[in-house]
Structure 1
Amino acid sequence: MQSPAEAPRLLPSSVPAKDDNWGGYVRVESATHQGMWIDSKDGWIKAVPNKADPLTFVDKFGHYEIRQKSATGRPLVLQGSRFRFVSGAEPGRFQVF
């Protein structure tokens, strides 16, 4: 596992919504994935060279749920040591800084 100093940074290309949610495409900033984007078409999070599926950050007032495409999309969960969007799963709780 990478230490926090070595972990890739994710930079949302945010699009504000009419509610307290926001979303857009997420760009990865790391030495090995510089300028790549997050893709989640098959549910697994991976870095790809071009923009793919957008993510939505659902404001739960104290934390966010991250969902695939829209506020009603599949929630992001930690499965083993990898992130995945899973239909019907209990949504993960994320702090976004």
Structure 2
Amino acid sequence: MGIPSGRFSIYEGTEIISNGRLSFSYKTRGDGHYAPQWEHTKWLAIGQNESSAAHFVAVDGKDEGDGWSCRMRIVDGNYDGYWLDSSDGWLCAVGSSKQRWKFLGNGEHYEWWQGERPVVVRQSGPNNDGASGFRLRAEYGANPRTYTVRPL
């Protein structure tokens, strides 16, 4: 596929399934008195069936020997016009960023990297806010995962 020429979404794994899409929302845990609710967050998470997918565009894309790299601007939703960043490890929406992302592989399936850190999924979030769902993190020494990049 190479560098996407327009908007794209990213899914965890090699199949396009709704609970593998990436989203800027999560579901809070309900306790006995309160029902779970959807919350918007600046941190990128693995979405659930009811969440809407995050959409991106590649900016300053560059072909690399074993894939491609770019900066990622968020389009659509609450963070339209923001950029994807992982300065503290957790992937999040920020006002501006020069951070480059690498996608190693071919076709639609890639390992996703930020510098020397593969992007992985972690069950807890950056502020341990009690969210149910999984947050994305660029983490040194982690085993790379496979993601599907799907043009819209």
Of 52, 62, 68 in structure 2, the residue corresponding to residue 15 of structure 1 is: 62
Structure 1 runs not aligned, ≥5 long: none
User: 1:9-49 CA distances to partner (integer Å, 9 max, x unpaired)?
Assistant: 122222212x1310110011122001100011111000011
Which residue is equivalent to 1:77?
A: 120
Which residue is equivalent to 2:81?
A: 35
Amino acid at match of 1:54: R
Cα gap change, 1:86 to 1:60, in 2 (>3 Å): farther
For 2:148 and 2:113, how far apart are their aligned partners in 1? 14
Amino acid at match of 2:75: E
Question: How many residues align structurally?
Answer: 93
User: 1:41-65 CA distances to partner (integer Å, 9 max, x unpaired)?
Assistant: 1110000111231111111666211
For 1:41 and 1:27, how far apart are their aligned partners in 2? 15
- Match of 1:94, SS state, is strand
TM-score, length basis structure 1: 0.82
- Match of 1:6, SS state, is coil
Write the mapping of 1:32-71 to structure 2, written as runs, cut at 5 A.
32-59=78-105, 63-69=109-115
Q: Which portions of structure 1, spanning 4 or more consecutive aligned residues, are displaced by more than 4 angstroms? A: 1-5
- Match of 1:75, SS state, is strand
Shift of 1:93: 0.5
Identity %: 29
**Greater Rg over alpha carbons, structure:** 2
For 2:108 and 2:82, how far apart are their aligned partners in 1? 29
Query: Higher strand share goes to which structure?
Result: 2
Shift of 1:95: 1.0
- Match of 1:32, SS state, is helix
Cα gap change, 1:64 to 1:28, in 2 (>3 Å): same
